[in-house]
Amino acid sequence: MEGYLKKWINIVTRWQDRYFILNDHILHYCEHQGGQSKGQIHLKVAAIILVPEDPLRIIINTGTNEIQLRASSVPEKIEWVNALKRAQESCQETIPRDYIKEVNDILTDIWVTQAAFDETLNILVPKLERQPKYVELAEKLSELGQKIKMNVTICTQLLEVEKEKLETQQSGDNQTLFQSFRNISSRIDEFNRQNSAISCSSSLSIQDILETLKYEQPIKYKNLINNPVFQKIQFTNQQLRIALPRTQDPNEKLKVWSLIKDLIGKDLSKFAVPVYFNEPLSMLQRLAENLEYYQTLIEANQEQDQWLRMCYVMGFGVSAYSSNIDRHKKPFNPILGETFEIQNKQFRFVSEQVSHHPPISAGYAESNDFEMQMQTDLKTKMSPRSMEVQPLGNVYIKLKQFNDHISYNKCITKVHNIIFGNMYIEHIGDMIFHNYTTNDKGVLTLSENQKMVGTVYDSNGKEKYKLKGQWNDSLIARNIQTGQEVVVWKRYDLPQDYKNYFFFTKFALNLNLLNIDLIKSLPCTDCRLRPDQLALEYGFIDLAADEKHRLEQKQRQRRKDMQIAGQKHIPQFFELMKEPCTNEMIYKYKGNYWRKKGEGLDLF
């Protein structure tokens, strides 16, 4: 069966005609008849849902994605529903229990092995690429890695063939087992698409998770237990993900003129924007993205050459821009007092929204090798053709082995063609690096076409290293005396389908991951518990807009109540004080987050 149906695209373009083709148990769709396929739905792992209040609507939910369709008439809808259900029923055979276990065990082994291989390769290859004599070896390893991934894909395809054989063994009396195999099939499809690993477990509702927290964490319990966003989601203990719960149209065109015509020449950071202009991350999490290449700081701390150490720090400083490729949407403005944390084997990070006007997010990271103090104090202006973001203040880094205290500034970011043409991002200007322990200095100049050049000077102003590269690719340092070159930073590969997930990097994809353990352990102020942001991640656009409005109103009321009471907000974990290296007033970490994080505010 085939024909045109209306498909819900987004809140701006709403319902659009798409041509659907039902072939066996797979539903394909494209923009017009005979056009290129834009997607497909495997019906054997999908639920077909009817909407009583809308007699023309059909919802197809695969567990990881949901599409909404509308027929032009009730008879047409009935015809499509019957065809979809017949296609589903044709593959409702029973799978033998022993074979199910065998297939599941094989898949588990594949996922674990592939994840370990990817992790090792992602660590080893960048290290080899930084040494010119090992570049060829790194390329061969990368090529070998791709071949191994291809072979893994072939393995899963062979399992798919085995599945087809199993489906011919009909007994018709064990739908529970078939449902189990449908779940396995869904995971095979996801694995083929992403070539990575997912940690899966049983799911729980928010009511089940919060049952034991009612008295221990009353604020969290009150805010989440009846929240419409959290009620729509089943949570697991997934530890790592390679995709968001819903895809986003990478070619989405937003009509921004009606929004920005009143903002031209003003500071954009003070204005709330509609939720469809946001990406599902907070500015606190964007601050954490500075740590994506923390390994570069570890290498800096282990480097004996003090000027090459500076080169590594410069590579780390510019690495933060590589996550901005094609990311044109705005992160959520944090609520005053909102927090975010990361705690893993490599480092700990905490951030807090310390000021509302001007909006300032402060962050601190620590590890065995380094400490890092930063904040986002942005001056943002809009013009008819572009948007300009100028970061104020410096980033401060301490390398522990040599007690190096280093500061650097960030350059200006410009977003071009915000109304007409292809939107693109430019980072332009000088980044100045100072080592206050050795009095060395580094200058990195970013210019058009992602290019950057730089120089490291000793305490007497003599040039020691030259640097060149592109902020979306790599940075190479050359020793002026010996001529030896070292790759001090190289961008990680982007996820395979990153365009469908707000152009997020692998690191960014996991910043808003919320699982059962995190719901229990995070303080009630953590932005992962923020319902509007979570709703956007799951594709609940209308609900995200409603929740965002509710939270903004709640913040205004809290501010009014404090003004009436003569109270002033005091950050919990950061304090405004003078940085001795530069005499700059910055919000510095108090060192108390991990002891006091449970004493949260009622923000959500």
Q: Where are the alpha helices (DSSP H) in 91-234?
A: 97-129, 135-167, 175-194, 206-210, 218-224, 228-231
**pLDDT band at 73; cut points 50, 70, 90:** confident
pLDDT at 563: 92
Question: Looking at residue 164, what is its pLDDT?
Answer: 54
What the block records as the tokens of 191 is 């694995």
Tell me which DSSP letter residue 178 carries.
H
pLDDT confidence of residue 263: 55
Q: Please give the mean pLDDT across all residues of the chain.
A: 84
pLDDT(190) > 70: no
- In this predicted structure, the answer to whether residue 101 has a pLDDT above a threshold of 80 is no
Query: In this structure, how many other beta carbons lie within 10 angstroms of the beta carbon of residue 487?
Result: 21
**Taking 50 as the threshold, does the pLDDT of residue 197 lie above it?**
no
Q: What is the pLDDT of residue 99?
A: 56
Which of 121-125, 381-385, 484-488 is modeled with the greatest confidence? Answer: 484-488
531 alpha-carbon distance from chain centroid: 16
Confidence of residue 49 (pLDDT cuts 50, 70, 90): confident
Query: Is the pLDDT confidence value at 28 over 50?
Result: yes
Q: For tokens 């960048």, what's the residue?
A: 126
| pLDDT value for 15 | 86
13-17, 133-137, 248-252, 600-604 — which is least confidently predicted? 133-137
Stretch 70-91: mean pLDDT, rounded? 86
pLDDT in tens, 420-442: 677 788 999 999 999 999 999 99
Q: pLDDT for 589-602, tens place per residue?
A: 999 999 888 777 89
pLDDT band at 268 (very low <50, low <70, confident <90, very high): low
Residue 537, classified by CB atoms within 10 Å of its CB into exposed (0-12), middle (13-18) or buried (19+), is: buried
Q: What is the pLDDT of residue 266?
A: 54
Report pLDDT for 151.
66
**Structure confidence at residue 1 (pLDDT):** 86
Q: Strand, helix or coil at 348?
A: strand
State mean pLDDT over 371-375: 96
pLDDT at 75 over 90: no
Is 70 exceeded by the pLDDT of residue 97? no
| Gap between the Cα atoms of 378 and 117, Å rounded | 40
pTM as predicted:
0.67
Pairing of strands 360-366, 412-416: unpaired
User: Residue 517 CA to chain centroid, in angstroms?
Assistant: 19
Burial of 130 (0-12, 13-18, 19+ CB in 10 A): buried
SS3 readout for 6-18: EEECCCCCCEEEE
Is pLDDT of 87 > 90? no
Q: Around Cβ 382, how many Cβ atoms within 10 Å?
A: 22
pLDDT value for 94: 45
How confident is the model at residue 85, as a pLDDT?
86
**Calpha distance 540→334 (Å, rounded):** 20
Band the pLDDT of 174: cuts 50, 70, 90: very low
What number is the average pLDDT over the span 39-43?
83
Is 195's pLDDT higher than 50?
no
pLDDT bin (cut points 50, 70, 90) of residue 408 is: very high
**Measured between alpha carbons, how far is 552 from 558 in angstroms, rounded to an integer?**
10
Among the residue ranges 21-30, 61-70, 324-333, the one predicted with the least confidence is: 61-70
Of 68-72, 181-185, 276-280, the least confident: 181-185
Residue 493 CB-density burial (10 A; 0-12 exposed, 13-18 middle, 19+ buried)? exposed
Task: Reply yes or no on whether the pLDDT at 194 is more than 60.
Answer: no
Three-point CA angle 478, 482, 487, nearest 5°: 30
Condensed to tens digits (0 to 9), the pLDDT of residues 504-538 reads 999 999 999 999 999 999 999 999 999 999 999 99
The pLDDT value given to residue 447: 93
Is 456's pLDDT higher than 90? yes
For the cut 70, the answer to whether the pLDDT of residue 352 exceeds it is yes
Contacts of 577 (CB under 8 A, 6+ apart): 585, 586, 588
- pLDDT level of residue 192 (50, 70, 90 thresholds): very low
**What pLDDT is recorded for position 145?**
73
- Name the percent of the chain lying above pLDDT 70: 81
pLDDT at residue 153 tops 90: no
SS (H, E, C) 257-324: HHHHCCCECCEHHHCCCCHHHEEEEEHHHHHHHHHCCHHHHHHHHHCCCHHHHHHHHHHHHHHHHHHH
Average pLDDT over residues 466-490: 96
Identify which of 239, 208, 200 has the alpha carbon closest to the alpha carbon of residue 513.
239
Residues in Cβ contact with 244 at an 8 Å cutoff, skipping those fewer than 6 apart:
280, 501, 502, 504, 509, 537
> Nearest Cα to 284, choosing from 552, 527, 599?
527
User: What Å distances lie between residue 590 and 131, 373, 464, 571, 580, CA to CA?
Assistant: 39, 11, 37, 10, 16
